[in-house]
């Protein structure tokens, strides 16, 4: 059961998750910045000895977690992702003609929709189809997408520097979202946003809110980057990463991920349940999203954990046409961090105890 009162310092706990820095929790309530070790150094260099002086740490670009006290809202269902990049794999020829299908999907939009194109980086192009776009929305959208892609580059290096086009349609109201989305997904009414890998296009419900729309766009953009950069991935990773980065905000040039504290003190499903894609057909969707999100938060909270997550991502890249099974995911994490399951349970218990 979630507690209703917490020690005040937990509301302002920061956990850095940039690929080169993380924050460690220590007993006296202080926070020590530590550089993430390479996988090779993990076994020989104790985590406690990796400390950067505060003056140096302040110069490092940081993507930060901030814990606040808010309620968690269950997310809608998301259809099975479809890998679509013909240069990496072609699953039974399904995506051979995805480009004409993409054009047809765009042609279905009426004349009110305008194309807003941005070259986010030399690798990343963003095409947004919308009935209007404010200057604020454009600025926020570009900054968040750029920061998101940079995070993947920091984690995966040159393999994330691929030519990628993000095609996103922002529907001005719910009725249009349901109308257009129903061409491709029968259960579109259970979603706020959906990415169709076979078409390489995402539809987003504006939800009468620029901030909600931005949040959903980032969520779907994570699915796009996962498909292009990694390939098929287990849903616990694909949705967990999307849930994580949708909390990202940019302020004064600094990227932060604001984490509602109450979200992290709920119990999750047992690890091997939400690791298993087959279980997603039978278990509670909101709890599966939460469990995956809590897991991904945990995996970015210390150097050894983040290195295990990166190791998992790189191993998944080796066969982009196939997602790991629950057992294969477990084994991949275990190769770098064999205490991850026990530590995850203890981590959640420690949040509950404070």
Judged against a pLDDT cut of 70, whether residue 296 lies above it is answered with yes
Residue 292: name the closest of 311, 308, 269, 309 by CA. 269
Judged against a pLDDT cut of 80, whether residue 125 lies above it is answered with yes
Q: What are 168-219's pLDDT values in tens digits?
A: 999 999 999 999 988 888 888 889 999 988 788 999 999 999 999 999 999 9
Q: Is the dihedral of CA 342, 345, 348, 352 positive or negative?
A: negative
- What is the SS3 assignment for 32? strand
Q: Can you say how many angstroms the Cα of residue 291 is from the centroid of all Cα atoms in its chain? A: 13
Q: How does residue 91 score in pLDDT terms, banded at 50, 70 and 90?
A: low
Least confident of 138-152, 255-269, 273-287: 255-269
Q: How confident is the model at residue 97, as a pLDDT?
A: 58
Contact 298, 279 (CB under 8 A): no
Judged against a pLDDT cut of 70, whether residue 247 lies above it is answered with yes
Name the percent of the chain lying above pLDDT 70: 72
Name the percent of the chain lying above pLDDT 90: 53
CA distance 27 to 350: 12
Mean per-residue pLDDT over the chain, rounded:
77
DSSP string over 200-218? TEEEEE-TT-HHHHHHHHH
Six token digits for residue 331: 């084994």
Which of 64-68, 96-100, 345-349 shows the highest mean pLDDT?
345-349
Residues 6 or more apart in contact with residue 13 via CB below 8 angstroms: 25, 31, 65, 66, 67
Six token digits for residue 150: 């940079």
Q: How does residue 127 score in pLDDT terms, banded at 50, 70 and 90?
A: very high
Of the two residues 300 and 61, the one the predictor is more confident about is 300
Contact 10, 354 (CB under 8 A): yes
pTM of the model: 0.79
Q: How confident is the model at residue 294, as a pLDDT?
A: 94
Of the two residues 55 and 52, the one the predictor is more confident about is 55
Judged against a pLDDT cut of 70, whether residue 40 lies above it is answered with no
Judged against a pLDDT cut of 90, whether residue 10 lies above it is answered with no
**Mean pLDDT, rounded, for 40-66:** 33
Six token digits for residue 216: 């959903």
Q: How does residue 270 score in pLDDT terms, banded at 50, 70 and 90?
A: very high
Judged against a pLDDT cut of 80, whether residue 354 lies above it is answered with no
Q: Which domains does the chain have, with CATH numbers?
A: 8-70+253-352 (no CATH), 98-231 (3.40.30.160)
Judged against a pLDDT cut of 80, whether residue 69 lies above it is answered with no
Helix residue ranges per DSSP H, the chain: 39-42, 54-57, 98-107, 135-156, 174-181, 210-225, 235-245, 261-264, 271-274, 285-299, 303-317, 326-334, 340-352
Six token digits for residue 210: 């620029």
């Amino acid at each position: 059961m979630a507690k209703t009162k917490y020690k005040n310092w937990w509301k302002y706990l920061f956990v850095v998750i940039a690929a080169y820095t993380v924050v460690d929790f220590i007993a006296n309530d202080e926070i020590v910045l530590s550089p993430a070790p390479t996988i090779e150094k993990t076994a020989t260099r104790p985590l406690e000895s990796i400390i950067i002086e505060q003056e140096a740490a302040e110069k490092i670009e940081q993507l930060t977690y901030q814990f606040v006290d808010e309620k968690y809202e269950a997310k809608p269902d998301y259809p099975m992702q479809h890998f679509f990049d013909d240069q990496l794999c072609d699953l039974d020829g399904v995506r051979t003609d995805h480009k004409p299908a993409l054009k047809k999907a765009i042609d279905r939009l009426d004349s009110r929709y305008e194309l807003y194109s941005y070259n986010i980086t030399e690798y990343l192009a963003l095409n947004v189809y919308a009935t209007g776009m404010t200057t604020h929305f454009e600025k926020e959208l570009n900054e968040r997408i750029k920061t998101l892609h940079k995070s993947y580059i920091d984690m995966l290096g040159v393999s994330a520097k691929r030519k990628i086009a993000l095609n996103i349609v922002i529907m001005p109201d719910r009725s249009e979202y349901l109308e257009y989305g129903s061409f491709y997904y029968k259960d579109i009414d259970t979603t706020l946003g959906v990415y169709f890998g076979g078409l390489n296009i995402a539809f987003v419900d504006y939800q009468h809110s620029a901030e909600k729309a931005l949040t959903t766009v980032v969520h779907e953009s994570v699915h796009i980057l996962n498909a292009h950069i990694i390939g098929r991935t287990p849903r616990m990773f694909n949705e967990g990463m999307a849930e994580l980065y949708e909390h990202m905000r940019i302020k004064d040039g600094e990227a932060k991920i604001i984490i509602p504290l109450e979200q992290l003190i709920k119990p999750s499903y047992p690890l091997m349940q939400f690791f298993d894609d087959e279980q997603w057909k039978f278990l509670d969707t909101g709890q599966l999203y939460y469990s995956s999100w809590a897991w991904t938060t945990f995996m970015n909270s210390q150097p050894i954990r983040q290195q295990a997550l990166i190791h998992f991502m790189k191993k998944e890249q080796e066969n982009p046409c196939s997602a790991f099974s629950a057992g294969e995911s477990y084994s991949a994490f275990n190769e770098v961090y064999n205490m991850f399951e026990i530590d995850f349970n203890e981590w959640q218990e420690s949040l509950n105890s404070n």
